[in-house]
Every structure is written in structure tokens, then in C-alpha cells.
Amino acid sequence: MEPLATEAQADRLARQLLMARTNLRGYLMLMLRYAKARGESAADLARFLGEQAAPTWGRLRNCTAIDFARALAQLVEAGGDEVVAVRDEGGIARLELRPPSSDDQLLAAFGIERDEWHALYYGQFERIATWLGLRCLHEREGDLHRFYFARIARITGPHRRPLPV
């Protein structure tokens, strides 16, 4: 069986992927600079982008927390993050990831603080999760970002019985 790509083709594709990831993150950082120049915060931009992006996740509208965590893991990995873990912990999904070291050069070039960048980039996840009816908790330990996702139960009517959203 012939290989799908030659070594030269694979190297070229790897370089293109790295460039695409860098461009994606760089353009988001430029958007953050633009927002800051107009008096908006990273959280404001994250809220806006998350609310705009959330409807594109419509196919996952009734997904489980772990389904969302797995889909999000694919997205952030394509964007350059290292996915450390994706686990189901009794109905609560846990996603752990690390941003790429290449962010350091971009942050320095654009004059953006790491905390602002993380507020923008990772802050979108909560808006998307909420739109899908999931609760999101984000913790940070050094360069490790840990997200927990769970289905939100909603109390309706006088019987006070939680119903899944």
C-alpha cells in the first residue's frame, strides 16, 4: 500500500498547519487590540464572540457534557492547544488543555497580557456551553486550563422537579 503523503508533502502540510494556527491566534489577538483601543475588555469581546459562535454549535444542542468536551477538544487542538485530558467524571465532563508555546511570541508582538488573551480565547467556551444548556467552570493552574461541563437542570412549575434542558 502506498503512503497517503510523501515525507516532503507531510512536512509541507505540517508547516501550513502551524502557519494557519498562528494566523488564527494572531487575528484573534488583533481583534483584542482593536476592542481594547475602543474601551472594551477581553471579557466583552469573549462574550460577543461566544454569543455569535454559539448558534454554529446547534447540532450539539442536546448533547451530553462529555460530547461537548470532546467536540471542543477537537476544535482547540486544531487551533494549536495541547489537549491533556478529556474525561467523563460521573456526568461532569473535564477538559484539560495547554496553550501552545508559540503564543509567547505573538503576545509579545501584539503587546497583549497573557491573562487578557486567556480571558478572550477561553472565555468564549462558557458562552457556547451556556447556549447549549451546559454549565461551565474554568480553572487555571499555571499554563494548564481545566474546564468542567455539566448539563444544567431547570426547575419548572410548582412541583419543583428538575428537568433536563
Q: What is the pLDDT of residues 42-63, one digit of tens each?
A: 999 999 999 999 999 999 998 9
State the helix-helix crossing angle for 114-121 and 7-37, rounded to 10 degrees: 100
| Residue carrying the nine cell digits 442536546 | 62
Contacts of 95 (CB under 8 A, 6+ apart): 69, 72, 73, 83, 85, 86, 146, 147, 149
User: Residue 160: what pLDDT?
Assistant: 53
Return the closest-CA partner of residue 69 out of 163, 153, 165, 145.
145
Q: Is the dihedral of CA 150, 114, 74, 131 positive or negative?
A: positive
Q: Can you list the residues of the chain whose pLDDT is less than 70?
A: 1-3, 154-165
CA distance 98 to 84: 7
Residue 6: the pLDDT is: 86
Domains of the chain: 7-164 (3.30.1380)
CB 52 within 8 A of CB 62: no
